[in-house]
């Protein structure tokens, strides 16, 4: 049994990770400032004696005694990370420094939730880990993209300078229950709009693509990555290579919900990547991991979650 810190543990992915590690018999310390996360995401874990929830902002130092750290704290949807862009960069950069400092003092293994956004609007398709990316350093997405890139730099410098045991995962679009209903990400937006019978907001022509990974598959990838030997640092892409146009996603959501919602066109946001698909050869080879849940099956579970949430009046 290990004592494991999860920053951003009350968020969408973090809450699933907390659950999974508790199921494995570990002690979990969930640290979150509830910026985009919510107590309700972990309310069902509060009775578990191995679970502890702490309100804390990772841009400030944190002194706790743990064996492993999963650093997930950071708003992840464009609406939320662009709301206070300076705080977003601080969370990625100062948060990484503090968690790396903690890992250094404790000699703890540390995992970083990096992102496919480090590839920006990619000119190489699909994106392998060797690709350095095409990122605008001064645009609206930069606080997130560059913050996460700088965090990766810090992880590798702490490894080179202090011999830390690091695991850097580049996560591609992930979806599932407990996504924030109003965070503007495409899967939650479309599902909530379809369930409410509101127009489905398609940005641009809807011909841009994304590859969607169901959250349970992703969490399995995290755990396998953390269990690798110290020589395995990443970066490793984690995502589902099944690539869909956003228009096809909209049509699929309408079909699965039986909704009468119509598609409504909106302008494409600035710097919106045209294509995104992970090359997961490395994850397959090193972690023996690949996603098992296909889009339709994952969407059905997500629809069931949002349906219950809307009926409960919580969203």
d(CA 62, CA 8) in angstroms, rounded, equals 14
d(CA 18, CA 14) in angstroms, rounded, equals 6
Least distance in angstroms from the C-beta of 117 to ligand UDP:
7
Q: Is 75 in the site for ligand NAD (CB under 6 A)?
A: yes
Question: Does the active-site annotation cover 144?
Answer: yes
Q: Which is nearer to ligand UDP, 39 or 162 (CB)?
A: 162
Contacts of 184 by beta carbon, 8 Å cutoff, 6+ apart: 77, 78, 79, 80
Least distance in angstroms from the C-beta of 123 to ligand NAD:
20
d(CA 63, CA 66) in angstroms, rounded, equals 9
CB 106 within 8 A of CB 67: yes
CB 138 within 8 A of CB 89: no
d(CA 178, CA 188) in angstroms, rounded, equals 9
Query: Binding residues for ligand UDP, per CB under 6 A?
Result: 61-63, 77-78, 97-98, 101-102, 104-105, 173, 184-186, 189, 201-203, 208, 210, 246, 268-269, 272
Count of residues in contact with ligand NAD, rule CB under 6 A? 29
Helix, strand and coil in the chain, % to nearest 5: 40, 20, 40
d(CA 141, CA 85) in angstroms, rounded, equals 9
CB 66 within 8 A of CB 6: no
Instruction: Spot the catalytic one: 35, 144, 158, 175.
Output: 144
Of the candidates 306, 203, 198, which has an alpha carbon nearest to the alpha carbon of residue 261? 198
Q: Which is nearer to ligand UDP, 75 or 78 (CB)?
A: 78
Q: Is 57 in the site for ligand NAD (CB under 6 A)?
A: yes
Contact residue for ligand NAD among 4, 76, 200, 295 (CB under 6 A): 76
246 binds, among ligand UDP, ligand NAD, none (CB under 5 to 8 A by kind): ligand UDP
211 binds, among ligand NAD, ligand UDP, none (CB under 5 to 8 A by kind): none
Q: Which is nearer to ligand NAD, 33 or 259 (CB)?
A: 33
Task: Name residues contacting ligand NAD, limited to 77-116 (CB under 6 A).
Answer: 91, 95, 113, 115
Contact residue for ligand NAD among 4, 5, 6, 13 (CB under 6 A): 13
Maximum pairwise Cα distance, the chain:
58
d(CA 99, CA 91) in angstroms, rounded, equals 11
Q: Is 254 in the site for ligand NAD (CB under 6 A)?
A: no
Catalytic center residues? 144
Which residues of this chain interact with ligand NAD, rule CB under 6 A? 7-8, 10-14, 32-37, 57-59, 72-76, 91, 95, 113, 115, 171, 173-174, 180
């Amino acid at each position: 049994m290990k004592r494991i810190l999860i920053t951003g543990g009350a968020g969408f992915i973090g809450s699933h990770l907390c659950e999974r590690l508790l199921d494995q018999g570990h002690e979990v310390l969930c640290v979150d400032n509830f910026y985009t996360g919510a107590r309700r995401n972990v309310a069902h874990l509060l009775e578990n004696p191995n679970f502890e929830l702490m309100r804390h902002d990772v841009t400030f130092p944190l002194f706790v005694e743990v064996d492993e750290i999963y650093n997930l704290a950071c708003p992840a949807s464009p609406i939320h990370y662009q709301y206070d862009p300076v705080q977003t960069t601080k969370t990625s950069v100062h948060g990484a420094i503090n968690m790396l400092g903690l890992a250094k003092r404790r000699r703890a293994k540390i995992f970083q939730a990096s992102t496919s956004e480090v590839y920006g609007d990619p000119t190489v398709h699909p994106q392998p880990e060797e690709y350095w990316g095409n990122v605008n350093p001064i645009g609206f997405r930069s606080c997130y993209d560059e913050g996460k890139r700088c965090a990766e730099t810090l992880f590798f410098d702490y490894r080179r300078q202090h011999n830390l045991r690091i695991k850097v995962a580049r996560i591609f679009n992930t979806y599932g229950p407990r996504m924030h209903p109003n965070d503007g990400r495409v899967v939650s937006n479309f599902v909530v709009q379809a369930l409410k019978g509101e127009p489905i907001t398609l940005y641009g022509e809807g011909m841009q693509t994304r590859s969607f990974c169901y959250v349970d598959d992703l969490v399995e990838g995290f755990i396998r990555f953390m269990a690798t030997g110290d020589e395995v640092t990443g970066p490793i892409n984690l995502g589902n290579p099944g690539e869909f146009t956003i228009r096809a996603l909209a049509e699929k959501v309408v079909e699965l919900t039986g909704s009468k919602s119509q598609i409504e066109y909106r302008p494409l946001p600035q710097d919106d990547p045209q294509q995104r698909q992970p090359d997961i050869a490395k994850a397959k080879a090193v972690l023996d991991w690949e996603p098992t849940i296909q889009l339709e099956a994952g969407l059905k579970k997500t629809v069931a979650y949002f349906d219950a949430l809307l009926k409960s009046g919580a969203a």
